[in-house]
Amino acid sequence: MVKIGDIQLGEFPILLAPMEDVSDPPFRKICKRFGVDLMYTEFISSEGLIRDAVKSTKKLDIFDSERPIGIQIFGGNEDSMKKAVEIVSEVKPDIIDINYGCPVKKVTCKGAGAGILQDIPKMVRLTDLIVKSTNIPVTVKTRLGWDEQSMYIVEVAEKLQDVGIQAISIHGRTRKQMYKGNADWTLIEKTKQNPRLHIPVFGNGDIFSAEDVKRKKDFSNVDGVMIGRGSIGYPWLFNEIKYYLKNGVLPPPPSIKERINIVKEHLDLSIKWKGEKLGILEMRRHYSNYFRGYKGIKNYRIKLVTSNCISEIHEALYEIKTNIN
Ligand SMILES: Cc1cc2nc3c(=O)[nH]c(=O)nc-3n(C[C@H](O)[C@H](O)[C@H](O)COP(=O)(O)O)c2cc1C
């Protein structure tokens, strides 16, 4: 049984990765229904939380039906991170996750996200401070290292464990790689092999199918996997993985009707959560994934991603249901 603190996550948990503008409450609600074991919020800026910025504080909204859920924060300033942890602790997430993986320049240049991989002593100090500032279990999500010359993840994981983190998720790329090339699970496997490491290690990077999970699980012996892009437009993946690991075969894929029902629900939740304008806009990144692989979808997809009108979107969905299979 994999555990983070007192939270029991089953034999081989499947995690939803934190994804900005994707893993919001509407998407999380759908992923939860499809069997995800642990979810994280989008990353939240510690500076934004302290300033009480609406964009940041809205991301603190979590619901009992989502538990167990982790709130992810980022920042490079120790005082701000400490204050942010106090703010986050008040909403009582099951887990607080620290983002040491974001490769975006405006984050890394402040020593936040993956930027901290250039200063491991600071990373350890900051983590220590955060763990000591809260009673909530702290986890870390990070990358292999800053670049190929500094892939210290095996040592880093142990150091972070020693200051009290309770699990680590490792994206098998360096910061320099951003999202390019293939995720390399070799060092994830090495980290897991370290006999001194007893906290759960979750592997992350390039999981798009249940077969990917089986291969990467067998190779690396990780305690669970975290999935980002593979779940966008395909939340069925979580249950599919569980079914495949248990039975060795894939369940039948969702029909076009099932997909459309979920798209409608997702759109509806999105509009309720964000208002009509933003709800419609932010659904656009999901459509092509929901209908990936279907022949003849292109014109309908264009309508879906250009329309600002709910009834037009429903019309396009109806046309897909009647014309595509
Ligand atoms: C749209 C998008 C937004 C992301 N936002 C975050 C984030 O807020 N926090 C974080 O730790 N990682 C973020 N990531 C990285 C993912 O959590 C994950 O590590 C990465 O996509 C690799 O996993 P995958 O191959 O399963 O997608 C984001 C990735 C994408 C594609």
Q: Do residue 88 and residue 172 come from a single domain? A: yes
Query: How many angstroms separate the alpha carbon of residue 7 from the centre of ligand 1?
Result: 23
pLDDT tens-digit map of 167-192: 999 999 999 999 999 999 999 999 99
Lookup: tokens for 265: 């629900």
Query: How many angstroms separate the alpha carbon of residue 128 from the centre of ligand 1?
Result: 24
pLDDT > 90? residue 257: yes
Residues near 10 by beta carbon (within 8 Å), at least 6 away in sequence: 1, 2, 37
Q: Do residue 173 and residue 45 come from a single domain? A: yes
Cα dihedral 143→144→145→151 (10° resolution): 180
Of the candidates 191, 81, 197, the one whose C-alpha atom is nearest the C-alpha of residue 129 is 81
Tell me the C-alpha distance between 244 and 235, whole Å: 15
Q: Which domain holds residue 140?
A: 3-247
Q: Cβ(171) to ligand 1 under 6 A? A: yes
Q: Do residue 17 and residue 46 come from a single domain? A: yes
Number of domains observed in the structure of the chain: 2
- pLDDT confidence tier of residue 104, bands split at 50, 70 and 90: very high
- Whether the link from the prior residue into 68 is cis, omega within 30° of 0, is yes
Atom of ligand 1 nearest to the CA of 101: 11
DSSP-assigned beta bridge partners for residue 225:
14, 203
Q: For position 70, what pLDDT does the model report?
A: 98
Q: Cβ(204) to ligand 1 under 6 A? A: yes
Q: CATH number of the domain that 294 lies in?
A: 1.10.1200
Tell me the C-alpha distance between 261 and 259, whole Å: 5
Q: Do residue 290 and residue 190 come from a single domain? A: no
Q: Do residue 154 and residue 299 come from a single domain? A: no
Q: CATH number of the domain that 66 lies in?
A: 3.20.20.70
Q: Do residue 204 and residue 74 come from a single domain? A: yes
Instruction: Among 216, 247, 278, give the residue marking a domain's end.
Output: 247
Q: Do residue 121 and residue 52 come from a single domain? A: yes
Q: Do residue 229 and residue 267 come from a single domain? A: no
- pLDDT confidence tier of residue 325, bands split at 50, 70 and 90: confident
Q: Do residue 124 and residue 220 come from a single domain? A: yes
- The mean pLDDT value for 225-235 works out to 97
- The mean pLDDT value for 156-171 works out to 98
Catalytically annotated residue among 31, 102, 109, 309: 102
pLDDT > 90? residue 30: yes
Separation of CA 291 from chain center? 21
Query: How high is the mean pLDDT of the chain?
Result: 97
DSSP-assigned beta bridge partners for residue 201:
168
Instruction: Among 197, 213, 247, give the residue marking a domain's end.
Output: 247
- The mean pLDDT value for 235-259 works out to 97
Q: For position 103, what pLDDT does the model report?
A: 97
Q: For position 74, what pLDDT does the model report?
A: 98
Q: Do residue 190 and residue 300 come from a single domain? A: no
Q: Do residue 62 and residue 112 come from a single domain? A: yes
Q: Do residue 98 and residue 21 come from a single domain? A: yes
Smallest CA separation from ligand 1 atom 18, residue: 228
Instruction: Among 247, 279, 308, give the residue marking a domain's end.
Output: 247
Helices (H), 133-224: 153-162, 186-193, 210-220
Q: For position 90, what pLDDT does the model report?
A: 97
pLDDT tens-digit map of 39-98: 999 999 999 999 999 999 999 999 999 999 999 999 999 999 999 999 999 999 999 999
Separation of CA 74 from chain center? 14
- Establish whether 31 is a catalytic residue: no
Of the candidates 196, 127, 216, the one whose C-alpha atom is nearest the C-alpha of residue 163 is 127
Query: How many angstroms separate the alpha carbon of residue 228 from the centre of ligand 1?
Result: 6
Best mutation site among 14, 16, 20, 41 for ligand 1, i.e. most ligand atoms within 8 A of its Cβ? 20
Query: How many angstroms separate the alpha carbon of residue 77 from the centre of ligand 1?
Result: 22
Smallest CA separation from ligand 1 atom 29, residue: 19
